[in-house]
Structure 1
């Protein structure tokens, strides 16, 4: 006889299989000890979107609506809910929204709420109420809104104000009216006026802004804004970072506990101000940079770090630099090799003593849209242009 594994070990094994639902479905059939842990993985994340047809969607959501009242513990396992592609208005939209609202109302413990390509004002009133109620769930700590369309910033802010336990906010929104209200008090669109969150009572730890950064920055600095960003640990800025009136914008306002900063596509003129306002910065991501025949991010990166040279007593606290780069042209052509040659300037810069704190430079290369993968020769080429980083074992180059 083979002695059975302890249930605690079975739980740990199944936890590491949460990404593989097909295997979890098989585990449900093996034995009682594996049923509940497998079900936690199966129902941990629900994505509601119309993939094939409205008929199939209604059938699937109908099953969930019938299953959750019968076995409420399954609904309690749902920690992540995502709504995708709710941007349509047609004859069947009302039935779809009603079915979605029924499922949404069954979920008591959602921790992460995500939206992708959702047009708020095209949702039915019933679905709007159901989703708004989810914003009020005490377990909700993460909200991600991507390509989310809503009329006014004040309407978006009103929704976010319900998330009294929020820790992570990621926003990529389209606003028809981005203006903030003239008064310093944002009136929530609710009759429960006495339950409005207190000023600075919602303490964010991670913030990602990709559009309408000015409006968010202004709102966060209101005395009566319920969100506190002074103790942020992780900050992401999207392509609009460069249009902020100040070089370091919100970075100056978020306090000195910032440990990780993401800058996307366009970089600020220099990193000099970051030393003063982010003394504990450990990880810097330079995301979605482009390398092509006629363009290289090298001058921007060089300008970013150059102000630290010859500054007595001022050294970077930075330990890891991550550069995510998209190859826009065939990288090994004769014309492309000229732009790759410029990377030698970065190698010369980073071997200066001012940058001794940097332990790792992580290059993450993405192929051009017309190519299935990054050629192996590119990694060898980049390593050849950065001999100091390569020989000091401070460099990683891999494909994404």
Structure 2
């Protein structure tokens, strides 16, 4: 009697493997099951590519990775279409990494991030980014020898007719360095549109003109550090504030670690332009503040508590502080004493975190 072989439908295989996209080791094993499993497994394996180097200046290691990717995608170019996210960590583009260009040209790539990475020139990075036609999320913290901004797409060996200005519309943007990117974004030929962002993450040194450039549609804003101009006492600097962010729902203030005395002054400078004689309520609902100092004094935070008592800030639902886990159990009591109104309103929360681990996951 002959037995009939029953096969799992390909559609069901796809659904099963989609639930394993975070488990690369299991996906590699699944790719060995049979032909029907190979493509779906590879789609998960190559969905997110992370290139990480122990030393960004290790040219031999960088070239080895570049050659490996170049060979892989040259032999099997369809694999590039599986890539959704490309991330570079401590990556030095010290040689002709053709594979990066191949991946960036894949229409499937919607997210690119790089941290502590090195490029020879700013134009080299711009060339890669300009090939990601469907990019939605961009996060960049990098360094290079030559920060000169290119003057045209032709300098990047890209046909201008093939890439109209403002044709790549970003939804989320994080920048560790502002000036060169702002110069590039404002060039007439720049293919990136950053006027309709939902989320923006930038250093606190940004001025009001720059913040307004990113449009009024922001729903999430993250500012990192305390402006150095505030620390040294300059009063003529045009600090960014929240008056022109009418759709903001979430504000995060990160890396407030060294100048605790100045932190409250800066937060007040952000918020006070929202005060008005009519008492109109501002729209944002969630405020996150990172105090990463090893010690906390909270000397002036009662002023912050009084500020948020104003009727304009009645819409705020949560004020979440994150502090070092090394501060001990007394830290919550410290906040309750300094912020009695927030504590009484049940809006105040305090989380203890491991900043070393947080730094690795934060970008």
TM-score range, shorter chain: 0.7 to 0.9
Find the aligned partners of 2:16 and 2:330 in 1 and give their Cα distance. 39
Q: Compute the displacement of 1:320 (Å).
A: 0.8
CA contact (8 A) 1:275 1:316 kept: no
Does the C-alpha gap of structure 1 residues 270 and 311 become closer, same or farther in structure 2, counting only changes over 3 Å?
farther
Q: Compute the displacement of 1:131 (Å).
A: 1.0
CA contact (8 A) 1:309 1:354 kept: yes
- 1:201 and 2:206 aligned: no
Structure 2: runs of 5 or more not aligned: 1-10, 231-236, 354-363
Match of 2:153 in 1: 186
Q: Compute the displacement of 1:90 (Å).
A: 6.1
Match of 1:357 in 2: 315
* 1:112 maps to which of 70, 85, 105: 85
- 1:287 and 2:254 aligned: yes
Does the C-alpha gap of structure 1 residues 383 and 80 become closer, same or farther in structure 2, counting only changes over 3 Å?
same
Secondary structure of residue in 1 paired with 2:108: coil
Find the aligned partners of 1:359 and 1:319 in 2 and give their Cα distance. 5
Q: Compute the displacement of 1:73 (Å).
A: 3.6
Match of 2:144 in 1: 175
CA contact (8 A) 2:225 2:254 kept: yes
Does the C-alpha gap of structure 1 residues 20 and 366 become closer, same or farther in structure 2, counting only changes over 3 Å?
farther
Does the C-alpha gap of structure 1 residues 385 and 89 become closer, same or farther in structure 2, counting only changes over 3 Å?
closer
Alignment of structure 1 residues 1-400 onto 2, 5 Å: 71-77=38-44, 78-85=46-53, 87-89=56-58, 94-103=63-72, 106=76, 107-108=79-80, 109-120=82-93, 122-123=94-95, 125=96, 128-181=97-150, 183=151, 185-190=152-157, 193=159, 196-211=162-177, 213-238=178-203, 241-242=204-205, 244=206, 247-267=207-227, 273-276=241-244, 278-290=245-257, 295=261, 297-312=263-278, 314-329=280-295, 331=296, 339-367=297-325, 373-400=326-353
Find the aligned partners of 1:378 and 1:10 in 2 and give their Cα distance. 50
Q: Compute the displacement of 1:10 (Å).
A: 11
CA contact (8 A) 2:242 2:270 kept: no
**How many correspondences in the alignment?**
329
Q: Compute the displacement of 1:162 (Å).
A: 0.2
More displaced stretch, 254-263 vs 160-169: 254-263
1:178-197, CA deviations, whole angstroms, 9 ceiling, x for partnerless residues? 1224x4x232533x626631
More displaced stretch, 255-264 vs 73-82: 73-82
CA contact (8 A) 2:62 2:92 kept: no
Find the aligned partners of 2:63 and 2:268 in 1 and give their Cα distance. 54
RMSD after superposition: 3.5
1:271-295, CA deviations, whole angstroms, 9 ceiling, x for partnerless residues? 885323x210111000111167x74
Find the aligned partners of 2:250 and 2:73 in 1 and give their Cα distance. 37
Q: Compute the displacement of 1:163 (Å).
A: 0.4
CA contact (8 A) 1:272 1:305 kept: no
Secondary structure of residue in 2 paired with 1:217: helix
CA contact (8 A) 1:291 1:328 kept: no
CA contact (8 A) 1:84 1:115 kept: yes
Find the aligned partners of 1:91 and 1:10 in 2 and give their Cα distance. 40
Secondary structure of residue in 1 paired with 2:164: coil
Find the aligned partners of 1:397 and 1:9 in 2 and give their Cα distance. 44
Match of 1:57 in 2: none
More displaced stretch, 12-21 vs 260-269: 12-21
Find the aligned partners of 1:205 and 1:310 in 2 and give their Cα distance. 31
Find the aligned partners of 2:272 and 2:85 in 1 and give their Cα distance. 40
Q: Compute the displacement of 1:249 (Å).
A: 3.5
Report the TM-score when normalising by structure 2. 0.79
Match of 1:4 in 2: none
